[in-house]
Chains A and B, each alone.
Chain A
Amino acid sequence: MLNKTPLAQLHQTMGGKMVDFGGWWMPVNYGSQIEEHKAVRTTAGMFDVSHMTIVDVHGEQAQAFLRYLLANDVAKLTEQGKALYTGMLNEQGGVIDDLIVYLMPLGYRLVVNCATREKDLAWMNQQAQKFDVQITERPELAMVAIQGPQARQKVSEVLSADAAALASLGVFYGIGLSGERSDWFAARTGYTGEDGFEIMVPATDVCAFWQQLADAGVQPCGLGARDTLRLEAGMNLYGHEMDDNTSPLVANMGWTIAWEPASRDFIGRSAIAQEKANGVQFRLVGLVMRSRGVLREGYEVVVPHSEVRGVITSGTFSPSLGVSIAIARVPVGEVTSAEVIIRGKNTSVDVVKPNFVRNGEALV
């Protein structure tokens, strides 16, 4: 029996091609993944991301708990609604999950991945035993991401009562909406490399909201386009670029580790400090293949400076660039080209920063 979001029926009615997506019945596309991808790069598209898990952390020691639980430091969150991206590590320094945490009026709100929901909650509850905190999942909230150069304008049309507040909302900030929408929370975040919002909406309101956005000309998009968009933007996907056995240091997540203050102990700190002291062996790079074909996850990468082979962690055809791109984990060292073994044949690729397209502009 597959899990369904409150929008599942509406997706099907609107022509979504529904598939089993990690145990959830979700639209992979609405006809053409490439068309949906391009809508997000040029106008506005929307995604049902209600399968993601929203967790509120409240209580006297909420801050102390999260400063211990997370590699980034929630003490940096000094303004209401400010968001922070972070890894949640295990004792060995592997990434249990990557997540966003918001400072809320009554504590913190975390948005974690759907595929990792059970282990995340188990881990958080286990670690919380030493703290005076309450951990509350919010399954009654659905979530819609509206992304693209026109996304903010379209959302403001639909949520006109809050248009002024939404217009002045800074990047990586969230805000509670007003009046009858006081349970809603809109954040200027996303997973596409475009401007836009991710909006948490009570399940009872989400179908009407989705319909209003569609009527305003926002393209419904499946999770297929979400993956090609995040890959072009060079964003990590849990289970691909990192997992329980991968340290944030080899997943280009070094910037999310708050080493200062040195007195703050967080789970995994000693393990990754040791790894850093010994010298990090791998890093993530971007690959661009100018010839025909598509780079796929798992293909091996031959680099000129090392005997050790790298591996593609995510690969796809880039609808924006018209060529194939990938994120790969390779031995550290400066290189500008490499070879990927595709069905037994070595094919030359460019090595670039893992950041291919931002705000509609090609970066490679």
Chain B
Amino acid sequence: MSEVRAELKYLESHEWARIEADGTVTIGITDHAQAALGDVVFVEVPELGSEVTAGSEAGVVESVKAASDIYSPVSGEVIAINEALEDAPETVNSSPYDDGWFFKVKPSALEELDNALDAEAYQEAIGE
């Protein structure tokens, strides 16, 4: 049984988004996703300062088993990337919701997240 956090928003493609107190949005992949991928060996995140679009590819996560595209749940400017994942990609497996975050966005249209799933809907989507 994978962990689904009540305070987060989710995409069916298994990304999570957290709205921070300062209005920025942190993005990562869910516990369910990391378990399905197995050992993560590379993470490719968008470049700092680049623009991402909601629902578009923003990076790639590669495990021993498979490569999987990462989609951004919101549009906006990338204001931080998790550089620690370059040397320690396994953090995505051990701490998907905390230390294993991917990137932070300054959203241009926060209401885009209204289309994302809440915890209950995501839980249902993954059949747990």
Q: Are B65 and A293 in touch, CB under 8 angstroms?
A: no
Q: Are B42 and A28 in touch, CB under 8 angstroms?
A: no
Note all chain B residues with C-beta closer than 8 A to A32.
39, 93
Chain A residue at smallest Cβ distance from B43: A292
Category for how many chain B residues contact A: 10 to 19
Q: How far is the CA of A229 from the CA of B67 in the complex (A)?
A: 20
Q: Are B67 and A316 in touch, CB under 8 angstroms?
A: no
User: In angstroms, how far is the closest chain B Cβ from the Cβ of A220?
Assistant: 16
**Which residue of the partner chain, among A33, A292, A293, contacts B64 with CB atoms under 8 Å?**
A33
User: In angstroms, how far is the closest chain B Cβ from the Cβ of A227?
Assistant: 9
Note all chain A residues with C-beta closer than 8 A to B81.
none
Category for how many chain A residues contact B: 10 to 19
**Which residue of the partner chain, among B39, B42, B67, contacts A34 with CB atoms under 8 Å?**
B39
Note all chain B residues with C-beta closer than 8 A to A319.
64
Q: Which of B41, B66, B93: most chain A Cβ within 10 A?
A: B41
Please, what's the 1-or-0 string for A201-213, where 1 marks a CB less than 8 Å from any CB in chain B? 0000000000000
Q: How far is the CA of A223 from the CA of B38 in the complex (A)?
A: 13
Q: Are A316 and B42 in touch, CB under 8 angstroms?
A: no
Note all chain B residues with C-beta closer than 8 A to A293.
42, 44, 62
Note all chain A residues with C-beta closer than 8 A to B67.
294, 296
**Which residue of the partner chain, among B38, B60, B66, B90, contacts A29 with CB atoms under 8 Å?**
B38
Interface check A228, CB cutoff 8 A: yes
Q: How far is the CA of A296 from the CA of B42 in the complex (A)?
A: 14
Q: How far is the CA of A292 from the CA of B65 in the complex (A)?
A: 15
Q: How far is the CA of A33 from the CA of B41 in the complex (A)?
A: 11
Closest 7 A-B residue pairs measured CB to CB? A317-B41, A294-B62, A34-B39, A317-B64, A33-B39, A292-B42, A33-B64
> Could you write out 15 A-B pairs with CB less than 8 Å apart?
A29-B38, A33-B38, A33-B65, A34-B90, A292-B42, A293-B42, A294-B42, A294-B62, A294-B64, A296-B66, A316-B64, A317-B41, A317-B42, A317-B63, A319-B64
Q: Which A residues lie at the B interface, using CB under 8 A?
A: 28-29, 32-34, 224, 228, 292-294, 296, 316-317, 319, 343
